[in-house]
Structure 1
Amino acid sequence: MHVLVTGANGFVGRALAARLAAAGRLGDRALTRLSLLDMGFGDAPAREGLVHRHAGDLADAAMLDRALAGAPLDAVFHLASIPGGTAEADYALARRVNLDATLGLLERGRAQVLVGGAAPVFIFASSIAVFGPLSAPVTDDTLPRPQMTYGAQKLAGEILVDDFSRRGWVDGRSLRLPGVLARPPARTGQLSAFLSDIIRELAAGRPFVSPMSPQARTWASSLPNVVDNLLHAAVLDVMGQARRRTYTLPTSCFSMAELVDAIAQVHGADAVRRVRYEPDAAIEQRFGGFAPLHAQAALAAGFRADDSLVDLVRGALDGIGHPGAG
């Protein structure tokens, strides 16, 4: 089985690739090749057993031809994207990665089918950004109303995945991911990075200034939980789920004060006194007024949230190491 992961050197991509490589299989099928694609992989070897790393521009069709030559795709995890703040600042780059590259990957499924091959399973990492403001409870019937370029492009990707699946060119599943914690410190354009920073900094014994007030409510999931859900999507019986292909993943909804209390339970009670709240109106307006989520279709399909906020905090630093104090 040949599996491709795009954005494979990113936060979620590295964890997903590591899980796949360690298992050596996806569902009940053994992996014969795991192709990882990103702009770069540092000093990691280009090939390592079944793992093949390819550095380059995802929207470069010639590069993809070279990377995937002679190896039909059985499954694609399409994680690569240009996120929120960066997408707003650089529309051309966001369009190239979030739209053009997504369409190019889907076209590879079509080309594979037209020469007699099987349609690859296509797992598209969408985002809750498709909804826009989350000030009213979100259900399976909530209409997307994106308010940022990133959300609009993710919604377009969902529609393309549905259409290519309808035509039998891919077997698609789109997952609307919430915030994923805890991202390592990096300039990624993630406007919600403070949710990762607060866990990492308090776990390390350092003070933290929260840009949202104690009562501000938001959504997030741990990295291990999101990887579990991506892997589940790849083996999901879509036909047994009324042909539904787009899911808003279950996630934790919590206030900043509740998050701090959970961090204190895991990393020491003094974490509470090391937090100072200095709300940023723009940040709180965008991320601090999230209403409850009722993801009934996803729950019925076997997707799961973290068991508790404490479990989210415990899982948030898995795969990136526990930061030392200092």
Structure 2
Amino acid sequence: MHVLITGAAGFLGRALAQRLLPGRRLGDRSVTRLTLLDLALEGQPPDGVRHCEGDMGDADWLRGALNGGPPIDALFHLASIPGGTAEQDYPLSRRVNLEATQTLLEYGQQQVAAGHRAPVFVFASSIAVFGHLPALVDDDTPTRPQMTYGTQKRIGELWVDDFSRRGWVDGRAVRIPGVLARPPARTGQLSAFLSDLIRELAAGRAFTCPTTPGATTWASSLPCVVRQLLHAAMFDVATSGGHRVLTLPTLRFAMADLARVVGRVHGTPAADLVRWAPDERIEALFGRFPPLLTPRAEAAGFRADADLEALVRQALAPG
């Protein structure tokens, strides 16, 4: 089985790649070849792993990387230009979030035209597709993205549905919430403060949070989201009522509750170390999340972290 991951050097991509090394299994099939795509990839690839370093926004390079191996059985498209950066650099976000996604989907079309099976195509979408949120979000909540990133992710979801309808890919688009805890890095993600809060308070360091204590958000641990991505490649679409675009189950919690649980898990006076300095833009984007119902994904076998303590314990776990 040949698996390809875009954005393989990223936070999610690295963790997913470790679960899909040659010899591991994806469902009932053994991975025999793994292709990793990103701007730069660390170290020498082990046997059966191919590193492709280049710019996802360069269509010619991307086509060459896709055509450099055997037919692809499963493709995980994680690469993207995230929220803050997408707002500041629209041309870059268009090339990566739209044009590269289209190139990847059209590879599936070409693979089918050549007589091979359509690849399973797992598209990492985002809860940013919702934009302003109503009092309750469920599977039928309309999408009204308020940022370029969310708009581009919504377009990708529609393409996944359309290419699947045509039989060119076996697509599944999953809307991922915040993933914790990301390592410190300049990723352009406005939600990075959530990971910073956990990391700093766990270490007993003071932290200024750009929300009110009662601000509520949705988030999952990294191990939880990796499990969900793997499941996305394997679940029977019939179990979700034929829906290929799913909002993933996640936890909803207040920032003050997160701080208290970090202190309890890591044995620090976390609640006393937080200074609350609300930024209206950050609060509006990441601190007013209502209750969430995800019956379609749950019927298809997707699961959230067990509770907030489980999320915090896994958020900084090694590996």
Same structural fold, with TM-score higher than 0.5 when normalized by the shorter chain:
yes
- Which moved further from structure 2: 16-25 or 296-305? 16-25
Partner of 2:111: 112
Instruction: Report SS of the residue matched to 1:190.
Output: coil
CA deviations 1:244-278 (Å, max 9, x no partner) are 10100011101011101110111114122111111
Q: 1:70 to 1:209 in 2, by over 3 A?
A: closer
Describe the shift of the 1:23–1:137 C-alpha distance in structure 2 as closer, same or farther (beyond 3 A): farther
State the Cα deviation string for residues 174-202 of structure 1 (Å, max 9, x = none). Answer: 00000001011111010010000000111
Offset at residue 169 of structure 1 (A): 0.2
Partner of 2:194: 195
Matches of 1:204 and 1:193, distance apart in 2:
17
Question: Is 1:237 aligned with 2:233?
Answer: no
For 2:214 and 2:31, the matched residues in 1 are separated by 46
Give the whole-Å Cα distance in 2 for the aligned partners of 1:199 and 1:156. 33
Q: CA deviation at 1:317?
A: 1.4
8 Å CA contact 1:15–1:319 kept in 2: the answer is no
**Which secondary structure state, in structure 2, belongs to the residue aligned with residue 21 of structure 1?**
coil
- Larger mean CA deviation between 76-85 and 232-241 belongs to 232-241
Instruction: State the secondary structure of the residue aligned to 2:21.
Output: helix
Contact in 1 for aligned 2:218/2:251 (Cα 8 Å): yes
What code does the residue aligned with 2:228 have?
Answer: N
Q: 1:38, 1:148 → 2: CA distance?
A: 24
Q: C-alpha distance in 1, partners of 2:207/2:193? A: 10
Cα distance in 2 between the residues matched to 1:286 and 1:220? 13
SS of the aligned residue for 2:65 comes to: helix
Match in the other structure for 1:126? 125
Residue in 1 that maps onto 2:61: 63
Displacement of 1:319 after TM fit? 4.5
Given the alignment of the two structures, is residue 49 of structure 1 paired with residue 47 of structure 2, yes or no? yes
Matched with 1:100 is 99
The two structures, once aligned, show a CA RMSD in angstroms of 1.3
**Unaligned stretches of 5+ residues in structure 2:** none
Structure 2 counterpart of 1:10: 10
Of stretches 13-22 and 90-99 in structure 1, the one that deviates more from structure 2 is 13-22
Q: Percent identity?
A: 62
Letter aligned with residue 4 of structure 1 = L
Report the alpha carbon displacement of residue 87 of structure 1 after superposing the two structures with TM: 0.3
2:282 matched residue in structure 1? 283
Q: Give the secondary structure class of the aligned counterpart of 1:235.
A: coil
Distance in 1, matches of 2:23 and 2:298, equals 25
Distance (Å, rounded) in 1 between the aligned partners of 2:96 and 2:178: 20
Query: In the alignment, what sits opposite 1:154?
Result: 153
Tell me which residue corresponds to 1:257: 256
Write the deviation string for residues 133-153 of structure 1: whole angstroms up to 9, x where unpaired.
Answer: 224210011000000000000
- What's the offset of the Cα at 1:23? 6.0
Structure 1 regions of 5+ residues with no counterpart? 321-326
The question of whether the paired residues in 1 share the 8 Å contact of 2:202 and 2:268 is answered with no
